[in-house]
Amino acid sequence: MTGDARPQLVRGVGLLGATSANMLNMIGVGPFLTIPLIIASMNGPQAMLGWLLGAAVAICDGLVWAELGAAMPDSGGPYRYLYEAYGPRSLGRLMRFLFLWQIVTTAPLSIASGAVGFSQYTKFLWPAMTGMEGKMLAMAVCLAATALLYREIHDIGKLSVMLWVVVLATVAWISVTGLLHFDAHRAFTFPAGAFALNSKFFFGLGAATLIAMYDYGGYNNVCFFAGEVKNPGRTVPRSILYAVIGVAAVYLVMNVTILGVIPWQEAAHSPAIVSTFMERIYGSGAARFATLLVLWTAFASVFAVLLGYSRVPYVAAVEGNFFRPFAKLHPTKNFPAFSLLFLGGASAVACLLDLEDLVKALIVIQIMIQFLAQVVAVTLIRRNRPDIERPFAMWGYPVTSVVALLGWLFILVVSGWQYVLAGVCLLIAGIGAYLWRAKKIHEWPYAS
């Protein structure tokens, strides 16, 4: 098919749909699972500092995404930003390839983490579930989300809003319940030496912040399908800022109020903290119902993450920078069918990994190959590309940009050498793969 007959992406998502997609990505099963992990990282409620530091990094990094997303509102997100910022005729080609390289790894990890979390929470309702049955359930969640996304974008926007309403109702119920039964003394009873500024404190804070950033992650989801967003110069930045500020406030209220009901010593070892919380206040029936709502939230997150990531390989393949099958759109419904099916299947396979490994590997790899480079990209675009119109300028530049950069570096330093080593190996392999491909097709640095 040629000319106007060729299938095209449709700008059918408005501000409400874009914001809901971001928030669905953010409010997954993560916070319901990671509250005990965050408390355990610092052995006390002072771990809430990780939530605060994570919120600051998320807001500053969200402003980075907002400026870049409004300036280059095409589906694919950093695939476009890094290419333009680092030089379309030189280093930008390598940076674009490295982003695609890490997407092949991190997209399935991100999607699978939500599905594995879904499986772990299901154990509250199905105590006899075996480990293998749990992995099979997580795989089924990935495949079910793939099936739901196998439709045109207008229907997906409506599905996102519907899922979003239930997610907000769940979080509101938990938060209001916590406020009504809140005990400040219980929530803020700190162990001895909780705020001693030593290496244990800072490494614990770094671990808590890493987990918090996993839970905050998703405010950038709209950038991956910006080519299907109405009035993107306004919608993209607004949807990011509404999502990150709203979810940060909700998280802080929800987590503190839960600790006001369940002592932190007990919460640190709870495998299903929200279910335990509701059981403590309302009984087993309410706990089972709350668990079902958490499962709904987890599935909604998997749905939103797969929606965003499935658009990235499509954009690259259309421009000849990725494997050709990923360029295929559905012949009548105009969505990237092959890319969706591939990532959905890869995510199902990734469900064989444990949740902690999925979370830490995901964050470290993204920091090393994408997040740090993208913060620098804002400055490069401002200085070197005056031809690119910027409908939105990030607030407080360059301070907010520096805060985002330092936040990512802090998390990286304290994340654990094994995950950093894995990221370095992936980065080296990606550079090698790019140079091999570049030499074969006479691309930079081998172009004549």
- Structure confidence at residue 334 (pLDDT): 77
* Residue 13 phi, psi (nearest 5): -105, 125
| pTM for this prediction | 0.83
- Structure confidence at residue 6 (pLDDT): 54
Closest CA to 356 of 144, 41, 128: 41
- Structure confidence at residue 387 (pLDDT): 92
- Structure confidence at residue 9 (pLDDT): 67
- Structure confidence at residue 1 (pLDDT): 40
Cβ contact 340:147 at 8 Å: no
Secondary structure in 3-state letters for 49-105? HHHHHHHHHHHHHHHHHHHHHHHCCCCCCHHHHHHHHCCCCCHHHHHHHHHHHHHHH
- Structure confidence at residue 75 (pLDDT): 65
Radius of gyration (C-alpha) of the chain in whole angstroms: 21
Distance of alpha carbon 251 from alpha carbon 19, whole angstroms:
17
What single letter denotes the amino acid at residue 190?
F
Q: Which residues of the chain have pLDDT under 50?
A: 1-4
Closest CA to 350 of 142, 87, 199: 142
Cβ contact 80:92 at 8 Å: no
Distance of alpha carbon 411 from alpha carbon 363, whole angstroms:
9
**Rounded (10°) CA dihedral 43, 414, 372, 443:** -130
- Helix ranges (H only) for 123-198 are 131-149, 153-180, 184-187
What single letter denotes the amino acid at residue 308?
G
Angle (CA) 250 252 254, round 5°: 65
Q: Which two structure tokens, joined as six digits, stand for 6?
A: 């060729």
Q: Which two structure tokens, joined as six digits, stand for 271?
A: 């495998």
What single letter denotes the amino acid at residue 225?
F
